[in-house]
Structure 1
Amino acid sequence: MSNERPWLAEYPQGVPAEIDVNEFPSVVSVLEKAIDTYRDRPAFANLGKVLTYGEIDRLSKQFAAYLLGELGLKKGDRVAIMMPNCLQYPIAIFGTLRAGLTVVNVNPMYTARELKHQLVDSGSTALVVLDNFGHTVQEVIADTPVKQVIATGLGDMLGFPKGAIVNFVLRHVKKMVPDYEIPGAVRFRDTLVIGQLKSLPAVQIAADDIAFLQYTGGTTGVSKGAMLTHRNLVANMQQAAAWVGTNVKLGEEVIITALPLYHIFALTANCLVFMKFGGLNYMITNPRDMPGFVKELKKVPFTAITGVNTLFNGLLNTPGFDQVDFSRLHLTLGGGMAVQRAVADRWKQATGVTLVEAYGLTETSPAACINPMDLKAYNGAIGLPIPSTQACVKDEDGRMLATGEVGELCIKGPQVMKGYWQRPEETAKVLDGDGWLHTGDMAKMDDKGYFYIVDRKKDMILVSGFNVYPNEVEDVIAMMPGVLEVAAVGVPDEKSGEAVKVVIVKKDPALTAEQVKAHARENLTGYKHPKYVEFRTELPKTNVGKILRRELRDAPTKA
């Protein structure tokens, strides 16, 4: 089946079967070509301030010079970045990469427990953090390898007086910046000033060097770092650019970047692909504020937007969205979680543009399958394998299955990760001897080469496009003295696709659902919180004592 590649006959006109993975040796070389070509064009915009490609060039070089010249970091060292979408993000990412270092993206909403694991596991020696989340860093910093914290306020790159006003309002009016103290922390703006005085040495970056350690949950509940090399990301950028680029106007695209850049989807699809096109990434810092988000959309004549189902659904249900100007919009890409037909239909009706579903994983940098861009309407498929990508469906014994048969979806291509950071056993579980990545998703292929996800092999719960692993939730709830046994499952949820439900056998008869939820709030990021808590006298199990999560999933949910 892998050799036939029936999907090639379905490729839209102008999309090649293969991409040139060697055109750029690194992500940095893509950035440098974009800078040379589009120096005076806008590259990133946020909160009313725009940075051109030339400014990104200058600022990221200053940051790189600081990391190497002042901090003395050596090639391959890890730099953690813990911020929402703001102008500091691209400067920090590109500065880190230009210095030959590895970026560790950190979800700023992490609890202290989750943050500590990631900093220790990755061995990060420097951390860039937004002031709003400094208090979390303060709790764990002494127990991590981090030697230098670089802190910044949301308004720091916005210029005077606007930046000062934004920082004042966040801290004193909205009370969104809890007090914290980290000895020796430096300000982001100061690193740029220091970097200006240092010379940036020429850094040799090889295609196989790790560009990002992108953390993804594990079925064991421990989050693992997918090693994404420069080659992986360049390949995926070339693949996605070839796929979506047939009707792109170079130097004129404006893409709405509402998904966080710490998520692999926005990082590759928005930041890297549209940089190659000389486009403008219009960054939304807080997409959860839907009225504010719609107000932003009204200001900018955007041409493209990416998102997850919940984001599109939220926009469609926000007053004023029907007054947005969609006349230049030609690309809407949905991924991260299943796109619902009802949402896709409404999006097409409201905007006149098809919501095209894509499929990917952190481990594939992320794109593996995308529906054709000229798709007339939602089709329920995750699409066709993109250029230079092979896909197949295998049974439990690793045999390839025929068209229409359901098995595990496997992917092979230059975008597949090098492996999990310092976890050879975990790597061996998902990457087989022939180079196939086993996705853990159950799928089937039709005779034209379209793939359809049928079910998930893993018990992963997908909340608004974010992976929640039941084991992690269970481990946290099981820490409570009043809990005897716990199982976490995903249940359908109108708003977020799925919600977390925990089923508990009590040790302490007085234990309440509210206590469980409060404990979860202290130890888990928001999207991992159980929405439903149910108490039972026993949990359904197999004869070897494995909890039957499927039975719990299929049982009716009581709020």
Structure 2
Amino acid sequence: MSNERPWLAEYPAGVPAEIDVNEFPSVVSVLEKAIDTYRDRPAFANLGKVLTYGDIDRLSRQFAAYLVGELGLKKGDRVAIMMPNCLQYPVAIFGTLRAGLTVVNVNPMYTARELKHQLVDSGASVLVVLDNFGHTVQEVVAETSVKQVITTGLGDMLGFPKGSIVNFVLRHVKKMVPDYDIAGATRFRDALVIGQLKTLPAVQIGSDDIAFLQYTGGTTGISKGAMLSHRNLVANMQQASAWINANIRLGEEIIITALPLYHIFALTANCLAFMKFGGLNYMITNPKDMHGFVKELKKVPFTAITGVNTLFNGLLNTPGFDQVDFSKLHLTLGGGMAVQRAVADRWKQVTKVPLIEAYGLTETSPAACINPLDLKDYNGAIGLPIPSTDACLKDEDGRTLATGEVGELCIKGPQVMKGYWQRPEETAKVIDGEGWLHTGDMAKMDERGYFYIVDRKKDMILVSGFNVYPNEVEDVIAMMPGVLEVAAVGVPDEKSGEAVKVVIVRKDPSLTVEQVKAHARENLTGYKHPKYVEFRTDLPKTNVGKILRRELRDPSRAA
């Protein structure tokens, strides 16, 4: 078997070839063991307030009891969560899971159109939302299956007087909370009080039950819910923890959680894996405020940090970052988009810790490949397949390719999703008869078993680690009466890795760049906005009329 898996010989000492997927039957059992072992240790910190594992136990139990006892939710019902990183997030996630329900993570920056699609598609019956985004919910909630909206302010769990001050400043000074009115909405704090008076019945949670419906564009424009079971997430947690175990000090780790918990990377790598170690997730609510972020980093002796290339690059270019104390830092994990050599080299120079690149997908919960943690320098690879994971490269006809050949990267392992929610035909497109997940990424493997991404088969654009699907951007721009044809492509961008560019053939010659951008702002989340708009008389096409996006991406041919 080993010659089929050359990467096993490259594993760092102590990393097993296989993990025990059956050690924990569910994410809840991992949580409960962590609560028993680390009850008085800090679990989550945000805006100066800390919740211990004991606090998470009590509050998540109250939230679970509210969902089941007061709202009458039944096993398998979906609860949508629409918040940035704040203390309410882990309480809502773990409460939902303990009640035997499924979490639907929602990007709070979604426009009304995007939010409506996800709520309708998932059939969520409850939505937890931060006040700042209540106005978006108000626009569409009546057209969804949501029966109860639970609202909360950023300061609601910070205690008095701090919480009241934070809420006041956000609403009245910074004007960051637009007015909204949602009939029958309940406050998060009130839900917890009601939950205190209810009993939480024992719920049987099976490893095959769906823990998260994690939405992703997949290979086509429409956002689909990847069904991630308890087994998928427990497996990935076990795989990631086996990989990083050597340096971990139980009950002493502090991981900086700057990526949002609604993103699968932070959800599994930070929130879940470090819970198993009794670690503290130090949550950053607004990592875009780099000066504020660096100020936070100076306050805490952190041991680990995860992020995307743009985040690391932003920190390195923020004054004061080089004065942060990195003496306890032993793990920096980069994923979500390619880590650039210049950023990795500079990170190591400033922090004395290598920036380790990992690779994964929403569909793999997410980790599939990680570089060894004892890597001395940046190697340009996405790493080695992690324990209990197989990887291979296939050509268009499904034949497995030899070492050094470029083909589509395919992954098999216990972390691969059950499929897309209520979309069997979409699932069949990505998971073949032998159980291989086709990633849509073109890669090659060297003789030692390291994988390298060469190009993307799909035309997806990767902006700061977030997937942007050209179809969706094109559909939105095409809604404009002045547009005849449109193509969206990714172009290299120093700050975000890639930026969205739209090339338009006008129907109305008076259509302006500003009008296009204004229309995009109304209908698309920020990272999907076109940074560049170009007008042309025609678009390059195949003989069947399919737009050739690659010609628009290649400047030499575009000229």
Encode CA deviations 1:164-208: one digit per residue, 9 max, x unaligned: 000000000000000000000000000000000000000000000
Q: Is the 8 A contact 2:551 2:558 kept in 1?
A: no
- The whole-number CA distance in structure 2 between the counterparts of 1:383 and 1:250 is 25
1:270 corresponds in structure 2 to 270
Aligned partner of residue 215 in structure 1, secondary structure: strand
Change in Cα spacing, 1:50 to 1:176, as seen in structure 2 (3 Å) is same
- The whole-number CA distance in structure 1 between the counterparts of 2:468 and 2:506 is 23
2:163 corresponds in structure 1 to 163
Encode CA deviations 1:243-267: one digit per residue, 9 max, x unaligned: 0111100000000000000000000
- The whole-number CA distance in structure 2 between the counterparts of 1:63 and 1:4 is 48
Task: State the shift of 1:4 in Å.
Answer: 1.2
1:437 corresponds in structure 2 to 437
Aligned partner of residue 556 in structure 2, secondary structure: coil
Aligned partner of residue 79 in structure 2, secondary structure: strand
Q: Is the 8 A contact 1:390 1:413 kept in 2?
A: yes
Aligned partner of residue 151 in structure 2, secondary structure: strand
Q: Is the 8 A contact 1:2 1:390 kept in 2?
A: no
Q: Is the 8 A contact 1:2 1:392 kept in 2?
A: no
Task: State the shift of 1:433 in Å.
Answer: 0.4
Structure 2: runs of 5+ lacking an equivalent: none
- The whole-number CA distance in structure 2 between the counterparts of 1:40 and 1:290 is 32
- The whole-number CA distance in structure 2 between the counterparts of 1:220 and 1:410 is 18
Task: State the shift of 1:218 in Å.
Answer: 3.7
- The whole-number CA distance in structure 1 between the counterparts of 2:556 and 2:267 is 38
Task: State the shift of 1:141 in Å.
Answer: 0.5
Task: State the shift of 1:414 in Å.
Answer: 0.1
Encode CA deviations 1:10-39: one digit per residue, 9 max, x unaligned: 000000000000000000000000000000
Task: State the shift of 1:557 in Å.
Answer: 11
Task: State the shift of 1:220 in Å.
Answer: 2.9
Structure 1: runs of 5+ lacking an equivalent: none
Encode CA deviations 1:320-375: one digit per residue, 9 max, x unaligned: 00110000000000000000000000000000000000000000000000000000
- The whole-number CA distance in structure 2 between the counterparts of 1:312 and 1:218 is 26
Q: Is the 8 A contact 1:219 1:471 kept in 2?
A: no
Change in Cα spacing, 1:504 to 1:227, as seen in structure 2 (3 Å) is same
- The whole-number CA distance in structure 1 between the counterparts of 2:449 and 2:323 is 39
Q: Which moved more, 1:185-194 or 1:214-223?
A: 214-223
Change in Cα spacing, 1:54 to 1:556, as seen in structure 2 (3 Å) is farther
Change in Cα spacing, 1:525 to 1:557, as seen in structure 2 (3 Å) is farther
Change in Cα spacing, 1:548 to 1:29, as seen in structure 2 (3 Å) is same
Q: Is the 8 A contact 1:214 1:228 kept in 2?
A: yes
Aligned partner of residue 448 in structure 1, secondary structure: coil
- The whole-number CA distance in structure 2 between the counterparts of 1:129 and 1:102 is 16
Aligned partner of residue 348 in structure 1, secondary structure: helix
1:370 corresponds in structure 2 to 370
Change in Cα spacing, 1:205 to 1:171, as seen in structure 2 (3 Å) is same
Q: Is the 8 A contact 1:2 1:391 kept in 2?
A: no
- The whole-number CA distance in structure 1 between the counterparts of 2:199 and 2:511 is 61
Q: Is the 8 A contact 2:213 2:421 kept in 1?
A: yes
Task: State the shift of 1:484 in Å.
Answer: 0.2
Q: Is the 8 A contact 1:534 1:558 kept in 2?
A: no
- The whole-number CA distance in structure 2 between the counterparts of 1:524 and 1:219 is 19
Shift >4 Å, 4+ stretches: 556-559
Q: Is the 8 A contact 1:347 1:353 kept in 2?
A: yes
TM-score by length of 1: 0.99
Aligned partner of residue 556 in structure 1, secondary structure: helix
Percent of residue pairs identical:
90
Task: State the shift of 1:131 in Å.
Answer: 0.1
Encode CA deviations 1:499-528: one digit per residue, 9 max, x unaligned: 000000000000001000000000000000
Aligned partner of residue 35 in structure 2, secondary structure: helix
Q: Is the 8 A contact 1:26 1:207 kept in 2?
A: yes
2:146 corresponds in structure 1 to 146
Q: Is the 8 A contact 2:219 2:440 kept in 1?
A: no
- The whole-number CA distance in structure 2 between the counterparts of 1:318 and 1:220 is 37
Aligned partner of residue 269 in structure 2, secondary structure: helix
- The whole-number CA distance in structure 2 between the counterparts of 1:223 and 1:37 is 39
Aligned partner of residue 305 in structure 2, secondary structure: strand
Encode CA deviations 1:111-144: one digit per residue, 9 max, x unaligned: 0000000000000000000000000000000100
Task: State the shift of 1:556 in Å.
Answer: 6.4
Task: State the shift of 1:221 in Å.
Answer: 1.4
Q: Which moved more, 1:212-221 or 1:121-130?
A: 212-221
Task: State the shift of 1:2 in Å.
Answer: 9.1
The question of 1:183 aligning with 2:183 is answered: yes
TM-score by length of 2: 0.99
Aligned partner of residue 454 in structure 2, secondary structure: strand
Q: Is the 8 A contact 1:255 1:282 kept in 2?
A: yes
Change in Cα spacing, 1:301 to 1:149, as seen in structure 2 (3 Å) is same
Task: State the shift of 1:555 in Å.
Answer: 2.2
The question of 1:418 aligning with 2:418 is answered: yes
Q: Is the 8 A contact 2:303 2:329 kept in 1?
A: yes
Q: Is the 8 A contact 1:302 1:328 kept in 2?
A: yes
Change in Cα spacing, 1:556 to 1:530, as seen in structure 2 (3 Å) is farther
- The whole-number CA distance in structure 1 between the counterparts of 2:69 and 2:527 is 39
Aligned partner of residue 299 in structure 1, secondary structure: coil
The question of 1:197 aligning with 2:197 is answered: yes
Q: Is the 8 A contact 1:305 1:333 kept in 2?
A: yes
Task: State the shift of 1:219 in Å.
Answer: 3.5
CA RMSD in angstroms comes to 1.2
- The whole-number CA distance in structure 1 between the counterparts of 2:375 and 2:40 is 34
- The whole-number CA distance in structure 1 between the counterparts of 2:370 and 2:438 is 18
- The whole-number CA distance in structure 1 between the counterparts of 2:558 and 2:442 is 28
Aligned partner of residue 274 in structure 1, secondary structure: helix
Task: State the shift of 1:558 in Å.
Answer: 11
Task: State the shift of 1:377 in Å.
Answer: 0.6
Q: Is the 8 A contact 2:131 2:177 kept in 1?
A: yes
Task: State the shift of 1:3 in Å.
Answer: 6.6
- The whole-number CA distance in structure 2 between the counterparts of 1:247 and 1:537 is 58
The question of 1:134 aligning with 2:134 is answered: yes
Change in Cα spacing, 1:518 to 1:2, as seen in structure 2 (3 Å) is farther
